[in-house]
Chains A and B, each alone.
Chain A
Amino acid sequence: MAQALHRAFGRVQRWSAWVERRFTAAGLGVLYLMIAGGVFGLDVTRTMAFQLFALAAALLLVAWCGAGRWRPGVVLERRLPGYGTVGEPMRYTILVRATDDKAWSEVVVRDELDGRPPTTAEWRMRRRDDAGANFFDRRVGYPRWVALIRRLRGGRIAPVRMPPMRSGHESTVEMAFTPERRGIVRFARVRLLRPDPLGLINAVATRAAPQNLLVLPQTYPVPAIELPGTRRHHPGGVQAAQAVGESQEFLQLRDYRPGDPLRRLHWPSTARAGRPVVRETGEEFFTRFALVLDTFPDADDPVVFEAAVSVTASLATRLALGDALLDLLFVEDRAITVTAGRGLADTAVLLHELAQVEPGAADFGVLAAAIDRHGARMSACLHILLAWDAPRRALVQDLRAAGVAQIVLVVSRAPIAAAADVPFHVIDPVRLADTLAAMPDRCR
C-alpha cells in the first residue's frame, strides 16, 4: 500500500508541478470551474452546468492553442552568493539577455531546484511532521510528501515577474530564496513562462542552468562559554600553526647535534664560538578544546540530528578561543577531525564541514576511540550527544576520570532523568533557541 501510494504521489506531484507551470492563477480558476461544470452538468437535462463546462473548456482550448510553442532566443546567467544559511533569506540575481529581435512582456522567471525523490522509508518516517494536519492528510500523507520533496530540494524559490524586455536588451531579475536544509543545494534549471493572449495558459521555455550552493547549518545565539581547561603538553607543537605558543621561550644554548633543524642555529654564538651552536626552546603547552558531534541518530527522527548539527555550529561560532585550538570531531564512514584556531582554520571551515556532515555509517565506538586518542592533549570537551545510553555515559565518565573538563549536551525530545555522577544538559530540538539560551556557560 505504501509503495503504491509512494508511486502515486510521485505522479501526482509531477502532474501538479506541470499544472502550476502551465496554468496562470486565472487559468486554474477556469480549470476548476470546468471541473465543477463537468460534475454538475453530467446530466444535461438536470442543470445548465454543461454550458459552463463548455465555456470553460473552450476558453482553455483556445488559450492552449494561443500559448503555442515558445522558443525565445535568450541567455541566462545565475549569480549566486558564496554560501547561504538555513533559515536566512538570501537574494541572488539572474541575468536574462535576449538574443533575438522579439520583445516580451509579462514573462515570469521560475528558478527550479533539483533533488532526489524521497524514499518510502523517509516518507513513512517523517510522521512527526504531521502535527497540525487534519485526519485525512495524516492518514494519506501527501502534504508530508510535498514537504519532504521541498526539503530534499532545499526549499522553494518564488517565481518573479520580469520587466518588459525589448529585443537585444538584458534584464536582471532579483530572486529570493530561503534555504530549508543544509548541505549542497542544486539549482537545476530556469523556466520562462509567458501567458497566452487570454491570460490563462503559459507557454514555457526551459533552460538548463546547473549550479550548486553550499548552505550552512542554522545557528542560534548561545551564551559565551568559558572553557577553563588547563594547558597541556603538545610534543612537537602544531605543525602548520602561524603562532607557536610558548615555543619561543628560550631555555639554553648548546652545541649542534646532527638532526637539529638549521633554523635553530644561533648565528651570533656560532660566530663567537667558531662551531655550530643551536638555540633550545621550551616544549609547547597550550589549551586545546574538542567539540564532539554525535553522528549516530535514531533513524526515525532526523530532526534530532539536524538540531544537533545546529547546536554544534552555534557553539563553534561562539566559543572564545583566544590562542587555543578547537578540534571538531565527528564520524561519518570514519572519524574526522577538523582543527581551527591559531591560524590553522577559521570557524567558516568548521561550518563548511558541518554543512555537509551526514549520519555516521560506523558505530559509536569509532567516535569513542577517536576521542580517546585526543584525550591526553584535550583541555576541555563539549559533547553534543543524541542519546544518553551506556556507551555515551562511559565515554563521558572516562574523560572525567582523565581530568578533562566537559559540558555535555544531549539533544532529545523526551526529558532524561538527571545523573548524579555526570551532569548534562538536555536540549529540546523543537525549542532550540530557548534551550540554548538557557545553557550553562561553565564547565563542571
Chain B
Amino acid sequence: MKLPPLLLAAGLLFWGVVTGFPLIALALMLAMESPRWIRARWDFDPKDYERVADLCSVAFLLLMVWQWFGTRQGPEGILTVLGWLPMIFAPVLLLQRYGVSGGVPLSALFWSLRRGRSGGVVRTLPLDHGYFAVCLLSATCANLRAPWFFPVLAGLGLYALAPLRPRGRSMAAWLPAVVCAVAIAYGLQHGLLVAQRQVEAFALDFLRDRVFGRVDPYRAQTSIGDLGRVKLSDRIVVRVGGPGARPMRLRDAVYDAFAHDAWFARSNAFRDVATEGDRGWRIAPGSGPEIALSMALVRGRGVLPLPANPALLDHLNVSKVERNPLGTVRVQDGPAALTFTVAADAAGVGSELGPTPVDLQMPERLRPVLMETLARWNLADRPGADVARALPAAFARDYRYTTLLTDAAGRKRSIEAFLTDQREGHCEYFATSTVLLLRAAGVPARYVTGYAVREWSAFEGEYRVRARHAHAWALAWIDGGWREIDSTPAGWFDLEAESASVWQDTLDLLSWMHHRWNQWRDRDPGPSEGVGLGWLAIIVPLAGWLVWSVTRRSRRDVEERRSASRTPDRLDHAMAPLLARLATLGHARDPSTPLRAWLRGLPLDDVAMQAAIRRIADEHARLRFDPDAADDAQIDALAVDATALSGRLVPSGAAAASDATPVIATSRR
C-alpha cells in the first residue's frame, strides 16, 4: 500500500502533542521522514531486525510488568505503556526506513519463523501503516478530552486512506462516502459517551444497593429486620500504625436520617477539601500524632475510615478529596492500595455541621417505645448529657450482643422488639436505639458506621482491622460538640473473634506480604522519579551494544566486499608490467583468451623462463579465483615476481628480424 507523504510525521506529531512528548515526537519525525531526502541505505541482516524487535518487545514487556506491579497505577499502568508504544517500537521501523529491503522480515515479528530457517527467501512486511495506526491508538490512550481531538483523528485517518481509493472510482463517489463516514463516527462516539454514562450510573446504583451499601455515604442499609446471622469475613481491610495508633474507632460514614430500617445522609453535599501546600489536605484546624492507615480502594475511589476529629491528611496519593457536612470523607482517582497518614485532634470537638432539626427526628411509630424505655431506666426527664452517659451502662446491664438476626423463636427482630422483649441484637440495633433514645431525650444524635481498632499484631507492629470488626455507634451533641456514644456491650469484639477461620493466620501472613509489597512499591521517593533513570541505565547500554554490533558487522561486510572487489584490481596492477612488456615484444593478449592459458602458451626459448612464467600464471589464477586466500603479501610477492620477470624479457634476435611471431628470449643480466 502506498504511504501518503509525511503520514508518519503527521501521526507522530499528533501523538507527541496529545501525550506530552512533543520533543521526542519531533526527533522521531525527523528520523522517520529523513529517508525521503537521504539516499543512503543499509543492508541490514534479518538477525539485526530480530535483535532490535526482541529488544523492543522485552522493553515493552518489562514496562508493562513494572507499570502493573511496580508503580501505584496497577492495571491503569497498561494504558500508560500503550501511550509510549510509538517510542518503544520506533527502532524497528527506523531499521525498515533505513534498510534496503523496505520491510521488516517476518522472522523479526514471529518467533516460530526463526526455527529451521533455511536461508532462502526472506519474506518482509512493511510496517509503516501499522506504526501509523499505533500512533493513533497510543494518542487515544492519553485521554486528552480536547474538542479538536476527533477532527484531527478523523483527518489523519482519511489522509492515510486516501491513496487506497480504487482507480476506477471517482472523487465524486469517494468524498460523499468519507463525509458520511465521519458524520456517522461523530454521532457514534457521542452516543457511546452518553450510553456509558447511563450504564455506569445504573451499575453504580446497583452496586451501592447490593455490594457497597455499607460504605455508601448517602445511605446505610442496616440488617435490622433481616433473618439469619450477621456474617463478616476475617479479611484485613485496614491497617493502623504510626505514633498515634491506639485502640479507637474509625469512622466510615455518618448519617442523620432514619426511615424504614435504613439510615440516610440528608446533608450530603460533598465539597472539595483544600490542600495545604505540601502538607496534604487540611480538613480542620488542629494537630495531633500521626496515624498511618493502609487500605484498599475499589476502582480508585471510596470513603476513608478516619478517627474522630481528623485535622490533616498527608501522603495521600489521590487526585481529589471531598468531605460532606456530616464529616464523611471520600477520595477519587487513587491507587488500588492506599496508604496515608492522618493527624487527629483528640481534644477537638469536631468540625462537622452542628445539630440540625433532622438530628432530632424519629419515626413517630417508635416514639412510645422509646419513651417507655427511657422511663424504664429513669432517664425520661434527665439532662441530655446524663442520658448519654447512662445509656451504655443501661444497655450493658439489660441487653445482650448476638450476631443472630432472629430470636430464639425464629422471629424477625425490629427496633421495637429489640427494645421491649427480645433485648438482644448486633451493633446496628444498639447504635440505632441509642441515637433514637438520645433524640427522644432531646439530644441531637447521628448514626456512625466504621470499624473498631483493637487487634494489635506484634508481628506487624500495627493494628489489624478486619471486615468483622465493622461497627456502628452514635454521635451525640453534648456541651457544644459531637461525642461518640458506643452502647454495644463490650463483649461483642471477643464474640466476633470466635467466628475466626482456622486459616486466619495463613491468610494474615499472605495479606501482610501483599501489604509490604504495596508499601515498598509506594515508598518515598516515589518510583516514578527513579524509573526514568533506571530504564535509561538498562536501555542505553543495550541499544549501544546493538548499534555497535550492527555497525561492526556492516563495516566488516563492507570491508569484505571492498576487499573482494579490490583483489582483481590489485592483481591486474601486479601483472601490468609483465603484460606491458609482452605487448611491446609483440605479444598482446587477445581479450577473449584466458590470461593463464595465454601465458602458458607464450613462445619462450628458455625452459627456466617457461617454468617461471607458468608459475606466475598459476599464482595469478589462484589469487584471482580464490580471493579469500589472497592476502596483501601474496599479491605484493606476485607483483615483484612479475616485474622482475618483465625486466628479463628481450626480443629474440632471429625472430625480431623476421615477420614471424617473435620468440621471446631472456636477458642474461
Q: How far is the CA of A41 from the CA of B150 in the complex (A)?
A: 14
**Which among A57-65, A304-312, A345-353 touches the partner chain?**
A57-65
A315 to chain B, nearest CB (A): 27
**Which among B188-196, B623-631, B657-665 touches the partner chain?**
B188-196
Q: How far is the CA of A24 from the CA of B116 in the complex (A)?
A: 32
Contact between chains at A134 and B112 (CB < 8 Å): yes
Q: Say yes or no for A106: interface residue by CB 8 A criterion.
A: yes
Contact between chains at B153 and A51 (CB < 8 Å): yes
A33 to chain B, nearest CB (A): 5
B37 to chain A, nearest CB (A): 27
Contact between chains at B193 and A55 (CB < 8 Å): no
Q: How far is the CA of A103 from the CA of B79 in the complex (A)?
A: 49
CB-nearest residue of chain B to A137: B112
1/0 per position for B53-91, CB-CB distance to A under 8 A?
A: 000000000000000000000001001001000000000
A43, A51, A58, A199: which contacts B164 (Cβ < 8 A)?
Answer: A199
Q: Say yes or no for B165: interface residue by CB 8 A criterion.
A: yes
A120 to chain B, nearest CB (A): 24
Give A77-113 interface residues, CB cut-off 8 Å to B.
103-106
Contact between chains at B111 and A33 (CB < 8 Å): no
What chain A residues lie within 8 Å of B153 (beta carbons)? 48, 51-52, 55
B104 to chain A, nearest CB (A): 16
Q: Say yes or no for A155: interface residue by CB 8 A criterion.
A: no
Give B94-144 interface residues, CB cut-off 8 Å to A.
111-112, 115-116, 129-130, 133, 136-137, 139-144
Give B138-156 interface residues, CB cut-off 8 Å to A.
139-145, 149-150, 153-154
B133, B174, B188: which contacts A58 (Cβ < 8 A)?
Answer: B188
A40, A63, A137: which contacts B79 (Cβ < 8 A)?
Answer: A40
Contact between chains at B112 and A33 (CB < 8 Å): no
A46, A51, A62, A132: which contacts B115 (Cβ < 8 A)?
Answer: A132
What chain B residues lie within 8 Å of A196 (beta carbons)? 166, 177
Contact between chains at A52 and B137 (CB < 8 Å): yes
1/0 per position for B163-193, CB-CB distance to A under 8 A?
A: 0111111000110011011111110110011
CB-nearest residue of chain A to B82: A40
What chain A residues lie within 8 Å of B136 (beta carbons)? 33, 52
Q: Say yes or no for B161: interface residue by CB 8 A criterion.
A: yes
Q: How far is the CA of A59 from the CA of B178 in the complex (A)?
A: 8
What chain A residues lie within 8 Å of B533 (beta carbons)? none
What chain A residues lie within 8 Å of B165 (beta carbons)? 197-199
A204 to chain B, nearest CB (A): 15
Contact between chains at A37 and B116 (CB < 8 Å): no
| Given A58-B188, A63-B177, A50 contacting B129 (CB threshold 8 A) | no
Q: How far is the CA of A28 from the CA of B1 in the complex (A)?
A: 13
B166, B180, B193, B196: which contacts A199 (Cβ < 8 A)?
Answer: B166
What chain B residues lie within 8 Å of A104 (beta carbons)? 168
Q: How far is the CA of A196 from the CA of B153 in the complex (A)?
A: 22
Give A53-77 interface residues, CB cut-off 8 Å to B.
53-59, 61-63, 66
Q: How far is the CA of A66 from the CA of B142 in the complex (A)?
A: 34
B116, B177, B186, B196: which contacts A43 (Cβ < 8 A)?
Answer: B196
Q: Say yes or no for B157: interface residue by CB 8 A criterion.
A: yes
Most chain A beta-carbon contacts within 10 A, residue among B129, B184, B186: B184
Q: How far is the CA of A221 from the CA of B554 in the complex (A)?
A: 40
Contact between chains at B184 and A62 (CB < 8 Å): yes
Size of the B side of the interface (Cβ < 8 Å), in residues, is: 49
Size of the A side of the interface (Cβ < 8 Å), in residues, is: 48
Q: Say yes or no for A164: interface residue by CB 8 A criterion.
A: yes
Contact between chains at A58 and B166 (CB < 8 Å): no
Contact between chains at A54 and B188 (CB < 8 Å): yes
Q: Say yes or no for A247: interface residue by CB 8 A criterion.
A: no
Q: Say yes or no for A404: interface residue by CB 8 A criterion.
A: no
Q: How far is the CA of A46 from the CA of B145 in the complex (A)?
A: 10
Contact between chains at A50 and B193 (CB < 8 Å): yes
What chain B residues lie within 8 Å of A41 (beta carbons)? 140, 192
What chain A residues lie within 8 Å of B144 (beta carbons)? 48
B142, B150, B166, B196: which contacts A45 (Cβ < 8 A)?
Answer: B196
Q: Say yes or no for A369: interface residue by CB 8 A criterion.
A: no
What chain B residues lie within 8 Å of A57 (beta carbons)? 185, 188
CB-nearest residue of chain B to A36: B137
What chain B residues lie within 8 Å of A48 (beta carbons)? 139-145, 149, 153
Contact between chains at A40 and B133 (CB < 8 Å): no
Contact between chains at B141 and A198 (CB < 8 Å): no
Q: How far is the CA of A195 from the CA of B166 in the complex (A)?
A: 7
Contact between chains at B129 and A29 (CB < 8 Å): yes
B130, B141, B174: which contacts A49 (Cβ < 8 A)?
Answer: B141
Q: How far is the CA of A50 from the CA of B191 in the complex (A)?
A: 10
Q: How far is the CA of A25 from the CA of B192 in the complex (A)?
A: 28
Contact between chains at B181 and A26 (CB < 8 Å): no
Q: How far is the CA of A62 from the CA of B165 in the complex (A)?
A: 14
Q: Say yes or no for A44: interface residue by CB 8 A criterion.
A: yes
Q: Say yes or no for A140: interface residue by CB 8 A criterion.
A: no
Q: Say yes or no for A47: interface residue by CB 8 A criterion.
A: yes
A27 to chain B, nearest CB (A): 9
| Given A51-B149, A132-B112, A105 contacting B167 (CB threshold 8 A) | yes
What chain B residues lie within 8 Å of A36 (beta carbons)? 137
Q: Say yes or no for A316: interface residue by CB 8 A criterion.
A: no
What chain B residues lie within 8 Å of A125 (beta carbons)? none
Q: Say yes or no for A208: interface residue by CB 8 A criterion.
A: no
What chain A residues lie within 8 Å of B129 (beta carbons)? 26, 29
Most chain A beta-carbon contacts within 10 A, residue among B137, B167, B193, B196: B137
Q: How far is the CA of A200 from the CA of B184 in the complex (A)?
A: 17
| Given A48-B143, A51-B149, A58 contacting B196 (CB threshold 8 A) | no
| Given A45-B196, A59-B157, A137-B112, A198 contacting B174 (CB threshold 8 A) | yes
A38 to chain B, nearest CB (A): 10
Contact between chains at B193 and A105 (CB < 8 Å): no
A56 to chain B, nearest CB (A): 8
Q: How far is the CA of A54 from the CA of B129 in the complex (A)?
A: 19
B115 to chain A, nearest CB (A): 5
Q: Say yes or no for A243: interface residue by CB 8 A criterion.
A: no
Q: Say yes or no for A133: interface residue by CB 8 A criterion.
A: yes
Q: How far is the CA of A103 from the CA of B168 in the complex (A)?
A: 9
Q: How far is the CA of A7 from the CA of B185 in the complex (A)?
A: 37
Contact between chains at A25 and B181 (CB < 8 Å): no
What chain B residues lie within 8 Å of A43 (beta carbons)? 196
Q: How far is the CA of A199 from the CA of B178 in the complex (A)?
A: 11
What chain A residues lie within 8 Å of B133 (beta carbons)? 29, 32-33
A26, A66, A131: which contacts B1 (Cβ < 8 A)?
Answer: A26
Q: How far is the CA of A30 from the CA of B145 in the complex (A)?
A: 23
A49 to chain B, nearest CB (A): 4
Q: How far is the CA of A151 from the CA of B87 in the complex (A)?
A: 42
| Given A62-B184, A197-B169, A33 contacting B178 (CB threshold 8 A) | no
What chain A residues lie within 8 Å of B174 (beta carbons)? 197-198
Contact between chains at A197 and B166 (CB < 8 Å): yes
B368 to chain A, nearest CB (A): 51
Contact between chains at B177 and A62 (CB < 8 Å): yes
A145 to chain B, nearest CB (A): 16
CB-nearest residue of chain B to A45: B196
| Given A37-B140, A51-B149, A52-B136, A59 contacting B185 (CB threshold 8 A) | yes
What are some 18 contacts across the A-B interface (CB < 8 A)?
A25-B1, A29-B129, A40-B137, A46-B143, A47-B142, A52-B136, A54-B185, A55-B150, A57-B188, A58-B182, A61-B184, A66-B177, A104-B168, A132-B115, A132-B116, A137-B112, A197-B173, A200-B161
Give 11 new A-B contacts, CB below 8 A, not counting A197-B165, A198-B181.
Answer: A44-B192, A46-B76, A50-B196, A54-B185, A55-B153, A57-B188, A58-B181, A58-B184, A58-B185, A62-B180, A106-B167
What 7 A-B pairs are tightest by C-beta distance, nearest first?
A: A105-B168, A199-B164, A58-B185, A54-B189, A58-B184, A54-B188, A49-B140
- Which residue numbers of B lie inside 8 Å of A, CB to CB? 1, 76, 79, 82, 111-112, 115-116, 129-130, 133, 136-137, 139-145, 149-150, 153-154, 157, 161, 164-169, 173-174, 177-178, 180-186, 188-189, 192-193, 196, 200
- Which residue numbers of A lie inside 8 Å of B, CB to CB? 24-26, 29-30, 32-33, 36-37, 40-41, 43-59, 61-63, 66, 103-106, 131-134, 137, 164, 195-200
